[in-house]
Amino acid sequence: MRVILFSGKGGVGKTTISASTAYRLSQLGYKTIVVSLDPAHSLGDAFDIPESEKIEAKGLPIKINDKLYIQEIDIQEEIDRYWGDVYRFLELLFNTTGLDKVLSEELAILPGMEEVTSLLYVNKYYKEGEFDTLVLDLPPTGESLRFVSMPTVLKWYMKKVFNVERTIFRVARPVARRITDVPIPDDSYFQALENFYEKLKGVDEILIDPETTSVRLVANPEKMVIKESQRAFLYFNLFGVNVDAVIVNKVLPPQAETCDKFHKWVWTQKKYLEEMSALFSPVPLFSVPLLEDEVVGLERLSILANLIYGDADPYQVLFKGKPYEFVQEEDRYFVKLRAPFLTKEGLSVLKADGEITVRWRNFKSHIVLPRKLRNYDPASAKVEKGYLIIELLPEEK
């Protein structure tokens, strides 16, 4: 089974591109389900599904055709299915503080619940094997990163903290109830967490398997969007999730250059497209023109899919490998940049604005530094076995 994640800044057209990709996959004969994890669901709108049908589905899959299903996750329904005892305890806790019941219910949906619940569906559909492809329309970038980091965080919590916390509360509960009326989680709370974690086991391995899972970043040729896409690219690399394509949406067609109103826009977008080719190289970049009307319904989704992929099969892994990675050896840090063609002659490595720029002849690559290494400078560089290895040292004060 293939898992294809679409991530990007809000408003770039992520949902539409997820929908068009899923529809193309179904046309090619792959049984596909596309799942929206974005709280501002618009996946059903892309397929022009009536609101009454979406409400009736209650977050369960809706059949589009024999090869395609869509699902908009309803967090309230998922809480009832999976988070019952945990949610009820949190609701009681907020309500005890004097907050209104309705507000308590809303606050009990903690950040991360939606992302973790979504991971259940990745595991479920992967293990059941009913579908050939799972397409995930992720929420905006920040929540997307939380989505891919959750398995690691949960695994650490269950191994290091869970059993200790459960034992402490089991011992302290009888005493605490005599001296305070503050709710103390009972064993059903911990049992619910344990059951939930059991359903998630193995999902981390699915996400980091490049043969199974790919992220496709959706962006627009705009400065703020590019910066956010760079950060997302960095973090997906750090988590070991393979980014196999960048899809640049809403590109003005060349003929718009003759229009006075859009001449500067065309020039600006052209500049940013060239920059993005360097930023994300060697990951392939797909440029998608701005259409004359909104993309709603199967016919328009099919047109968009043709513009994105042409004759390519979106099921295939379009790129595999880490363009760069950060390596720590004791107290020393290195950046390994994949560059099998590069030699030291004419090479320059510079740092500015929290990123390293590598130039060699016509080649240029930008590497965004993680927060921990923002105050480190490139100290030396060597070419070894198809990689450029840059040593980073703390800035001199």
* Long-range contacts of residues 233-236, Cβ cutoff 8 Å, at least 24 apart: 233/279, 233/280, 233/368, 234/368, 234/370, 235/145, 235/148, 236/7, 236/145, 236/148
Residue 168 pLDDT: 73
Least confident span in 37-46, 159-168, 259-268, 293-302: 159-168
Residue 23 pLDDT: 97
CB 22 within 8 A of CB 68: yes
Distance CA(81)–CA(355), nearest Å, equals 44
Q: Which residues contact 238 (CB under 8 A, 6 or more apart)?
A: 326, 370
User: Quick one: which H or E segment has residue 332?
Assistant: strand 332-338
Work out the average pLDDT over 78-98.
61
Report the range out of 45-54, 300-309, 328-337, 355-364 with the highest average pLDDT. Answer: 300-309
The neighbouring-strand residues paired with 246 are: 217, 285
Distance CA(100)–CA(79), nearest Å, equals 20
Residue 39 pLDDT: 66
Indicate the pLDDT class of residue 285, thresholds 50, 70 and 90.
Answer: very high
**Per-residue pLDDT at 3 exceeds 60:** yes
What is the per-residue DSSP string for 219-287?
E-SSHHHHHHHHHHHHHHHHTT--EEEEEEEEEPPGGGGGSTTTHHHHHHHHHHHHHHHHHHTTS-EEE
Residue 204 pLDDT: 84
Residue 188 pLDDT: 75
What are the respective helix, strand and coil percentages of the chain, to the nearest 5? 45, 25, 30
Distance CA(86)–CA(371), nearest Å, equals 34
CATH numbers and ranges of domains, the chain: 1-322 (3.40.50.300), 324-394 (2.60.40.790)
How confident is the model over 222-280, as pLDDT tens digits?
Answer: 999 998 898 888 788 878 889 999 999 999 887 777 777 788 888 899 999 998 988 88
The neighbouring-strand residues paired with 133 are: 2, 32
Distance CA(156)–CA(143), nearest Å, equals 20
Nearest CA among 155, 68, 153, 146 for reference residue 114: 146
Nearest CA among 70, 80, 78, 24 for reference residue 48: 70
Distance CA(145)–CA(231), nearest Å, equals 10
Indicate the pLDDT class of residue 79, thresholds 50, 70 and 90.
Answer: low
Residue 111 pLDDT: 56
How confident is the model over 216-232, as pLDDT tens digits?
Answer: 999 999 999 998 898 88
Sign of CA dihedral 235, 236, 238, 243: negative
Indicate the pLDDT class of residue 110, thresholds 50, 70 and 90.
Answer: low
Q: Which amino acid is at 305?
A: A
How confident is the model over 180-215, as pLDDT tens digits?
Answer: 666 666 777 777 777 777 777 888 889 889 999 999
Nearest CA among 301, 307, 339, 334 for reference residue 323: 339
Q: How many CB atoms lie within 10 A of CB 266?
A: 18
Percentage of the chain modeled with pLDDT above 70: 83
**Per-residue pLDDT at 15 exceeds 80:** yes
CB 247 within 8 A of CB 288: yes
Percentage of the chain modeled with pLDDT above 90: 33
Work out the average pLDDT over 306-314.
94
Distance CA(49)–CA(34), nearest Å, equals 14
Work out the average pLDDT over 359-385.
84
